[in-house]
Structure 1
Amino acid sequence: MSAVGLASEDDLMTRAVGDLATRTGLPVAFGGFEQDGAIDVKSVVGNRTSSLAGLVVQPTRGLGGRAFVERRPRLALDYRSSRNITHDYDRAVLGEGISTLFAVPVLVAGTARGVLYCGSWSRSPFGESTARTALQVASDLATELRVRDEVGRRLRLASPPPLPPPAPSPGLDVAAREGLRKAYAELRRIGAEVGDPGIRRRLADIESRLAALSQGAEIEPIDVRLSPRETDVLACAALGQTNAEIAATLTLREGTVKSYLQSAMAKLDASTRHAAVTKARRAGLLP
């Protein structure tokens, strides 16, 4: 875990593989990310043997390799007799006793980052609802990767070159603090697009960690509760955006943005947006 509590890629994959098995109801699921030009399968659930351990899949090879390079799901209802794939990994797949196998690429901004697999030990019908569920799990994983990438990028851009300080100095410098605030606003924008409650809770946890990073001992708790959209709008206002820019960022009407701002200002007993942002930061509601 990083300083802002971001889960590692391996942790995200492990969680996604578990979700895949649970939500599809299929007995076995596994997956991995691309590393050094190949898909390194590290997460497996429901397996009865050790055949899948250490599986490394080359692009274009096997069911998952095709799904990876074609950037679309691939299905083998009878893996052993399938003529649509190479059988480079029969020892692993058939060794586990898998008959029906579904492979879904994990696409982030159109780029394949890994593959999720789910299957059963006997040849069985594979319905559209099961396929949709597997695709949704892959999409949720891609969203979490996109958030992790964006937050990491913002923090890297905000971090100054390491220099030995003359004396210990608590808190963040101006550039790092501004980077955190931009990452926070972007994270809330992405979170508003996510429908899965579990992922939204995890994103909210990262948001609170980001907000806490920029705060020192000067926090002054107040009895104010901002709505999610009021917080979104105020986070954008904190970056100096106009109502029109906030509306474009959050896909809202400009009049709606104005209403949210006025509501937040009233709750914070602030006469201007700048004063509202300042009070929200002092209260630990914004980074």
Structure 2
Amino acid sequence: MVIAHPIDAEHDLLARAVARLPLATKFPIAFGGLTADGLLPVTATAGTRTRSLAGLVVRPERGLGGRALVEKRARLTIDYRTARGITHDYDRAVLGEGISTLFAVPVMVDGHARGVLYCGSWSESPVGDVVARSAFTVAESLAMELRVNAEIARRLSLVATPEPAAIGSAAREELRESYAEIRSIAASISDESVKQRLAALERKLAALTADATAAPSDVRLSPREIDVLASVAVGATNAEIASTLGLKEATVKSYLQAAMSKLDVSTRHAAVTKARRAGILP
């Protein structure tokens, strides 16, 4: 599987979020962009009737989206043409599309506005709580996916070592921590394309630390059993694993006991050792 360049992947995530907005909010128009060099180029649209928004680049504090970007909160205008609380730098683009109501929601990643999602209509349309919550949900989902994408890029930069034999003990532990963290991230998302990218990264991490002399194993652990063992391998307690994976501590114990039984061992540390020898864990 080819893993996309991080920036390309970000724009794919944005395009999917923009495509979801009309379905989630029932507003016919949606568009959005991610920040780049201090600006916000609009690179994704959905439901538009014209090409007025094509090439639009929003500056911080300018227009509705620029305010949302700087203030880090959603901004709304029911009648864009007469709105007094915003600058009208982008009237040619917005009014060219015939937009009246416009709702701009910042995409917040680790306290920073990474982008803005817009939804709007050609007529005056009040935005109620249900619509607002739906837009916030799409923005929050995109923010999470952007965080995951950034983490994938960071982890990939750590696994550039070409030969497993060249990996020292410190680097090996870092890779194992990466593996555990990637599995915990994958357990928290539903986007199938992101899951596939994470799975590809997991396989690469495992291959980098694989023991070429290890005998093939017919042991098959469930995804959750591997999640738990991966966390055990980096020294996490059952309580910490439960918190990371969003499980009850008793459920973590159950998965761990099941894995130990399948691996035919009596301790958690022996389970990790045997799973590594079997190529199940890095």
- What range is the shorter-chain TM-score in? 0.7 to 0.9
Which structure has greater helix proportion? Answer: 2
TM-score normalised by the chain length of structure 2 = 0.84
Which blocks of at least 5 consecutive residues in structure 2 are unaligned? none
Match of residue 173 from structure 1: 167
Q: CA–CA distance in 1 between the matches of 2:176 and 2:233?
A: 8
Give the number of equivalent residue pairs.
Answer: 275
- Letter of the 2:176 partner, please give it: R
The residue that corresponds to 2:146 in the other structure is 145
1:187 matched to 2:187: no
Q: Check conservation: 1:27, 1:119, Cα contact below 8 A.
A: yes
Identity over aligned pairs, percent: 58
Instruction: Tell me whether 1:21 sits opposite 2:22 in the alignment.
Output: yes
Q: Does 1:220 align with 2:221?
A: no
1:5–1:206: 8 Å Cα contact kept in structure 2? no
TM-score (norm: length of structure 1): 0.83
Q: Which residue of 206, 209, 216 corresponds with 2:200?
A: 209
* Structure 2 counterpart of 1:63: 64
Deviations 1:243-263 (A, max 9, x none): 455355446565553333112
- Whether the 8 Å CA contact 2:188–2:245 is kept in 1: the answer is no
**Uncovered stretches (5+) of structure 1, i.e. residues with no partner:** 161-167
**Selected match of 2:263 from 253, 260, 268:** 268
- Give the partner amino acid of 1:84: G
One-letter code aligned to 1:112: A
Q: Using the alignment, how far apart are the partners of 1:45 and 1:19 within structure 2?
A: 9
Report Cα offsets for 1:2-31 as digits up to 9, x if no partner. 748866211111111111122222211111
SS in structure 2 opposite 1:94? Answer: helix
CA contact (8 A) 2:219 2:263 kept: no
SS of equivalent residue, structure 1 residue 190? helix
C-alpha RMSD over aligned residues: 2.9
Q: How much does 1:192 deviate? A: 4.0
Q: What is aligned with 1:117? A: 118
CA separation of 1:172 and 1:73: change in aligned 2, threshold 3 A: farther
More displaced, 65-74 or 269-278? 269-278
- Alpha carbons 1:158, 1:178 under 8 Å: kept: no
